[in-house]
Chain A
Amino acid sequence: MPSESDARLAILGSIRNALRVPAERNDAARAAEYAAIPRDYKRSGTRQGEALLELFTHRLQEYDAGVQRAPSGKIADAIGGLLAERGRHRIAIPDEVPRTWLPPGYPFEEAAGLDSMQLDKLDGVLTGCTVAIAETGSIVLQNAAAQGRRALSLVPDYHLCVVFASQVVETVPECFARLDATANLPTTFFSGPSATADIEMTRIKGVHGPRYLDVLLVVD
């Protein structure tokens, strides 16, 4: 559309005019300016091992998420226990969820073939994650193995997420360092179950996303 390209030129022209920039801008100078931005904030954390996992667990619990631990050899048992406890049976799973996670006796449904209406009728979803942030109690999902497309962790009312101890970092900048290589994938950070404080500033759980979240922390 010609009028749209007119608008593009007009806006860029107006910006350049306002900034009084030369016609040819200097990429190297811009890169140097960018590099000089002060970044004296905390890049990496100080906690390791148990202290790090404890902080993560504590933060998740503050959001009202359930947290359990299991060694890598006992993932299926732990998942079976959680599903039984919650009374959740029909669970969606994304592609490439390791079979060793799945307890026998549950009708796990491959999510790839389900549309949103069908997802809405299931009891929950089981996923892994890409990275988790202890300081903020956040878990990051990407469209990757054992995580799947974004709707999976959104439409069902219950989410059971498997997080390995090696995936937990302390700070937000450490998380971004890990995401750098896969920055173009659809990415969702979630911190506890969905919530709102829009009515008189009272926090209410589960407006549109899952109302219930369990995290299985795998620690050897």
Chain B
Amino acid sequence: MSAPQSHWTNRSFPEAAKELLADSQIRRNVRHATDVIQAKRNRVVGELPDWEALREAGSAIRAHALEHLDEYLVEFERNCTRAGGTVHWARDAAEANRIILGLIQRHQAKEVIKIKTMTSEEIGLNRHLEANGVRPHETDLAELIVQLGHDKPSHFVVPALHKNRQQVREIFQREMHLPELGDKPEDLCAAARAYLREKYLRIKVAVSGANFLVAENGAVCIVESEGNGRMCLTLPDVLISLVGIEKVLPRFRDLEVVLQTLPRSATGERMNPYNSIWTGVHEGDGPKEFHVVLLDNGRSPILADGEARQTLKCIRCAACLNACPVYHQTGGHAYESAYPGPIGAILTPQLHSMEQGRTLPYASSLCGACYEVCPVKINIPEVLIHLRGKVVEQDQKTLGGKLGVWNVGMQAAAFVMSSAQRFTLAQHMGQLAQKIFVSKSGFIERLPFMLSGWTQTRDLKALPQQSFRDWWAERESNGGDATGAAKESRDAK
């Protein structure tokens, strides 16, 4: 297999994070958005008494699908083809870009409409199309904001959550030539509706991703909110769906699990406004031509690692981003990848055979919040530690690596962090011991001994008196609502 490719730069997490930590506007926007989603998520998850059973089932279904991935992909291909679809296989980003461009050119299209898809971001499809004279129009409101702002997405479910409405308004005023546009969310939304509606009715080729593929009947499922997805899936003549090979489910009824856990985890809704499920081509309803491009791009080798394989169970709900204290601080761009947050920290380096995103497995405090919320029970902290081991192993092969500050510091850290118990203990000890090193500003500027490697590259925020882990445990026992304590005290008055 050829090397997977990506168009994201290759800065390290600490380098990128440092810059973003300085941008307090981004941090405020990120914190506001993640707080809102988390509170909603906790409420609607809390009302399902069978939530744990749904997680268990979702995890088992996804694990089973991965263990038989070759069989289910072949079954999907057979059924999709029988229903009138065409299935293509792409080993890497270049191959997927070539296939998609070829299909678009075959229809002499100069423009395409697009539904938010992370795989497209992963392979840099928009850049490739633009370089070849095809103009892609993002139709998801947030993706439109990102595209018109010449920006990059920072979250999978709400890609523009780092922008507030004044910033969105400036972008729309400039790019849509609407100098009078107001800054109420309704105004901005209406501007996007008018800007895009004409495109839906005119442009004949659409590009999408997919949330799930169903082997049993060749169905494709897309979950969305705005209806832009439905527009792209039903109005054009040609639809091209770019989908990672890991997205397949064995049977149609498996959707009954993930269509409960995904919306509640992703947007905190009992069900998102729209789910579309279709099989191939249906005469008189929707596109006349339907293509699925199955993308590997570094996924299949991940299956070989029994411990890390669970990474591919991910259904991209972004709950782990919203729950992550590191993501809260830095936002998504620091991860320098289409896949930010805790899942990105384990997925990105693996997609690139540990040659890119090497610092990402360290972009975590291992507090375990990501695992707690994950609807398919991916044990992200466990995989992080496993991957840290791999980075260290690779580094030790070179003398520079052996002496590198990351390596020495990480070996010490790996020992501590390789067991959850040890880590909790170390945190508690740290809270006591750090008093000696904390400067007046509340930052730890120098650490003694083995850990000094860490503070050479960045300031470390002093450990709070209550660790995130303790706070989390307390919060869970208080009924799992992030705002529970505050509400209770209000109600008591």
Contact = CB atoms under 8 A, between A and B. Distances in A.
Interface of A: 4, 7-8, 10-12, 14-21, 25, 30, 33-34, 37-42, 59, 116-117, 120, 133, 135-138, 143, 149-151, 154-155, 172-173, 175-177, 179-180, 183-202, 204, 206-210
A180 B253 contact: yes
A199 B29 CA distance: 10
B73 A188 contact: no
A194 B227 contact: yes
Given A18-B302, A199-B165, A143 B192 contact: no
Given A137-B271, A207-B189, A186 B282 contact: yes
A4 to B, nearest CB: 6
Contacts of B36: 201
Given A150-B230, A201-B32, A12 B73 contact: yes
A19 B245 CA distance: 14
A199 B188 contact: yes
A25 B56 contact: no
Interface in B238-261: 245, 250-253, 255-257, 259-260
Given A180-B253, A202-B185, A207-B192, A19 B67 contact: yes
Interface stretch (B82-90, B360-368, B422-430, B476-484): B82-90
Interface in B253-302: 253, 255-257, 259-260, 267, 269-279, 282, 284-286, 294, 296, 300-302
The 3 closest A-B pairs by CB, nearest first: A209-B227, A208-B227, A18-B304
Contact of B57 (A18, A33, A41, A183): A41
Given A15-B300, A194-B273, A172 B228 contact: no
Contacts of A195: 225-226, 273
A185 B285 CA distance: 10
B404 to A, nearest CB: 30
Interface in B120-166: 139-142, 145, 158, 160-161, 164-165
Contact of B53 (A14, A34, A40, A207): A40
Contacts of A42: 49-50, 53
Given A37-B57, A207-B141, A208-B227, 18 more contacts: A4-B99, A18-B303, A19-B69, A25-B68, A38-B57, A39-B53, A40-B56, A42-B53, A143-B285, A149-B285, A155-B235, A173-B253, A184-B219, A188-B277, A194-B227, A198-B141, A199-B165, A204-B189
B242 to A, nearest CB: 14
A19 B69 CA distance: 9
29 contacts: A11-B89, A15-B73, A17-B304, A18-B300, A18-B303, A19-B67, A25-B71, A33-B68, A38-B53, A40-B57, A41-B260, A149-B284, A150-B230, A150-B276, A172-B259, A180-B253, A183-B216, A183-B219, A189-B274, A190-B273, A191-B270, A196-B141, A196-B226, A197-B225, A198-B160, A200-B185, A206-B193, A207-B227, A209-B226
Contacts of B83: 184
Contacts of A149: 234, 284-286
B168 interface: yes
A161 B54 CA distance: 31
B285 A15 contact: no
Contacts, number: 245
B402 interface: no
A16 B296 CA distance: 13
B225 A19 contact: no
Contacts of B451: none
Interface stretch (B18-26, B194-202, B461-469): B194-202
A12 B151 CA distance: 36
Contacts of B74: 12
Contacts of A177: 253
Contact of A11 (B53, B235, B296): B296
B231 interface: yes
B48 to A, nearest CB: 8
Nearest to A16: B70
- Majority SS at the chain B contact face: helix
A194 B141 CA distance: 12
B334 interface: no
Interface string B56-95: 1100110010011111011000000001000011110001
A185 B95 CA distance: 32
A117 B285 CA distance: 15
Interface in B324-378: none
A191 B269 contact: yes
B438 interface: no
B70 A15 contact: yes
Nearest to B245: A11
Contact of B227 (A116, A154, A198, A199): A154
Contacts of B64: 33-34, 37
B33 interface: yes
A172 B217 contact: no
A41 B300 contact: no
Contacts of A30: 68, 71
B37 interface: yes
Given A37-B64, A188-B274, A200-B33, A154 B88 contact: no
B269 A12 contact: no
Contacts of B491: none
A15 B57 contact: no
Contacts of B255: 176
A122 to B, nearest CB: 14
Contacts of B488: none
Contact of A40 (B50, B68, B185): B50
Nearest to B65: A34
Contact of A37 (B61, B161, B272, B294): B61
A186 B192 CA distance: 27
A14 B300 contact: yes
